[in-house]
Amino acid sequence: MIRVEICIETPQGIQAAEAAGADRLELCASLDAGGLTPSAGLMAYAAQRPLPTLAMIRPRAGSFIFDAEEAAVMQNDIRAARAAGLTGVVMGALRPDRHLDHELLLRQCDACGPLERTLHRAFDLTQDPFAELEFAISAGFTRILTSGQKPTAPEGADCLARLQKQAAGRLVILAGSGVKAGNVAALIRQTGVTEVHASCRKPSVADPEDAALGFGSQPVVTDADAIRALIAATRQTGSQPA
């Protein structure tokens, strides 16, 4: 079976993903900003739940180029995820020349200890993803979350297939961005990936008074039905995880 990872940002999202049958969670704050480091309280809550959970390590929205102060914050956030008892972390960093920041990422990997490590979609902004794949393997990353350097994974299917072939089981290529029940089976067939990543969110009803003051004008929640549909679609492929 294909493994399905769901990114969530609330305790309710964790519960919905569990009920729908997700295999793993990516724990974030501010998914609308691409995902930021979750709070210590949310990490602690997730660690008590049954699903394997990896925390996003990203101190702010915007670019993936981090200065020394931000790097220090990220190191402490990795330690917090480890202390909370989470499965792992999701991290990435770039240099101004659009190569991965190897020095920073190696320091972060050292801070991880036994934690699983996912290299996030900063990878999709690199100049040479195939060379950076080899770095990720040598640095000890567990997997790479990638859309194949395109806005969505279906658009990046050709690159994903090349990455999957080059990885050859040395790490997992986790296909993410724009992955839905309606396209996941074709994506798996085209690329050979064994893990997929999605948010599966839907709009919820905003309180008019909150919206009037700029709070929660367009809230979204994790959609358990969409997760179930995504999982069901992956089962049609007959693939087995590496």
What residue ranges define each of the domains in the chain, with the CATH number in brackets? 3-235 (3.20.20.380)
- C-alpha closest to that of 27 among 15, 41, 17, 42: 42
Listed in sequence order, the residues at least 6 apart from 55 whose beta carbon sits closer than 8 Å to its beta carbon are: 26, 27, 28, 37, 38, 43, 46, 77, 81, 84, 86, 88, 89, 90
Listed in sequence order, the residues at least 6 apart from 129 whose beta carbon sits closer than 8 Å to its beta carbon are: 123, 146, 149, 159, 163
Contact 33, 14 (CB under 8 A): no
Tell me what the mean pLDDT of segment 148-154 comes to.
98
Tell me what the mean pLDDT of segment 136-154 comes to.
98
Pairing mode, if any, of strands 53-56 and 88-91? parallel
- How far apart CA 165 and CA 174 sit, in angstroms, is 13
- How far apart CA 109 and CA 123 sit, in angstroms, is 16
CA 142 from centroid of its chain's CA atoms: 12
Euclidean distance between the first and final Cα of the chain, in Å? Answer: 10
Summarize pLDDT for 185-217 with one digit per residue, the tens.
999 999 999 999 999 999 776 666 666 666 655
Question: What is the structure's pLDDT at 208?
Answer: 65
SS3 53: strand
pTM of the model: 0.93
Is pLDDT above 70 for 175? yes
